[in-house]
Amino acid sequence: MDKTKIKLGIAPIGWTNDDMPELGKENTFEQCVSEMALAGFTGSEVGGKYPRDIAVLKHKLAVRGIQICNAWTSTFFGDGKKDQTLKAFIEQMDFLHQMGAKVIGCSEQSGSIQGLNKPIFGHEKRIFSDKEWNLLAQGYNEIAGLAAEKGMKVCLHHHMGTAIQTAAEIDRYMAEVNDDVYLLFDTGHAYYSEGSQQAMLDILRKYVDRTVHVHLKDVRDERVAEVKQKKLSFLDGVKKGTFTVPGDGVIDFKPVFDILNQAHYHGWMVVEAEQDPAIANPFEYALKGRHYIKQYAGI
């Protein structure tokens, strides 16, 4: 891949998990970003332990050669919470803009079960009505316009347990929103939801031209099978090791890199592989993922 077009980042969720604070509670912000740099990454998404003071955060990242490339941003347009969503979005957008990020990765959390003690493969996942899809599209079109004023792009993170999880739901999202609303493509969530390498690649091929941010996440098939068999929640699966870094699971990332390269993808690829850091040492797994990417993507 073209080193001048692609930057490599890693998410702090491998060190400390904001959804389950007990995971990695012993790991500090400074340890996290120091190990990111030591493993060979130059970018990071934002975690709950990161300072919100712009000057402090910029200094601590700059001395390590790390820059902020994105941050999780929840939206609730489907539930009709437009005003609440816009307020939080603008705060996050202003923060990211000051940190130099060019994209804002959003997740539509209306009715999400990803953080609840409910089977992730069950009948309780939210299915949007036509009205809710319309509210979502209007909302995303509006925040994309706000972001464009700052030279930034809004992208939606399709995610297990949300109303935009499956290939069909991604299709509906992409059809409903304007062309200046984009996709955050996540290999792990696409594979987890659809159950195959081919289905995951089909989503990327279809929307690679509207993909502006990529999460590289591997999956362990045996853990997915356990999640299904035992009717476990999303977070239970995370603790058991559903996800891991590229090269440590079942996904073959070489075709992913090829598709992105052939489409002249320009932006960040971010390793996002949440596990229990007490079981999967974050630094060791960051190194493992970085070595795999260097071997198969050439960067």
CATH code (residue 113)? 3.20.20.150
Consecutive sets of 10 residues in the chain, 299 residues long: mean pLDDT of each?
94 94 93 98 97 97 98 98 98 98 98 97 96 98 98 98 98 98 98 98 98 98 98 97 98 98 97 95 98 97
pLDDT of residue 21: 87
pTM assigned to the model: 0.97
User: What's the pLDDT score for residue 163?
Assistant: 98
Separation of CA 226 from chain center: 23
Give one DSSP letter per residue of the chain, joined into a string.
Answer: --TTTEEEEE-GGGT--TTSTTTTTT--HHHHHHHHHHTT--EEE--TTS---HHHHHHHHHTTT-EEEE--EEE-TTTT-HHHHHHHHHHHHHHHHHTT--EEEEEE-TT--TTSSS-SSSTTS----HHHHHHHHHHHHHHHHHHHTTT-EEEEE--TTSSS-SHHHHHHHHHHS-TT-EEEEEHHHHHHHH-SHHHHHHHHHHHGGGEEEEEE-EE-HHHHHHHHHTT--HHHHHHHTSEE-TTSSS---HHHHHHHHHTT--EEEEE-----TTTS-HHHHHHHHHHHHHHHH--
What's the pLDDT score for residue 92? 98
- The domain in which residue 17 lies consists of 6-297
pLDDT confidence of residue 193: 98
The Cα–Cα gap between 107 and 76 comes to 9
Number of domains in the chain: 1
Alpha carbon 53 to chain centroid distance?
23
Q: Is residue 131 part of a domain?
A: yes
Within-domain flag for 164: yes
pLDDT at 219: 98
User: CA of 95: how far to CAs of 98, 147, 180, in Å?
Assistant: 5, 12, 21
pLDDT at residue number 146: 98
Residue 209 forms part of a structural domain: yes
1 in any annotated domain: no
Place of tokens 């999202």: 173
Q: Of 75, 242, 234, which Cα lies nearest the Cα of 160?
A: 234
Burial class for 159, CB neighbours closer than 10 Å (0-12, 13-18, 19+): buried
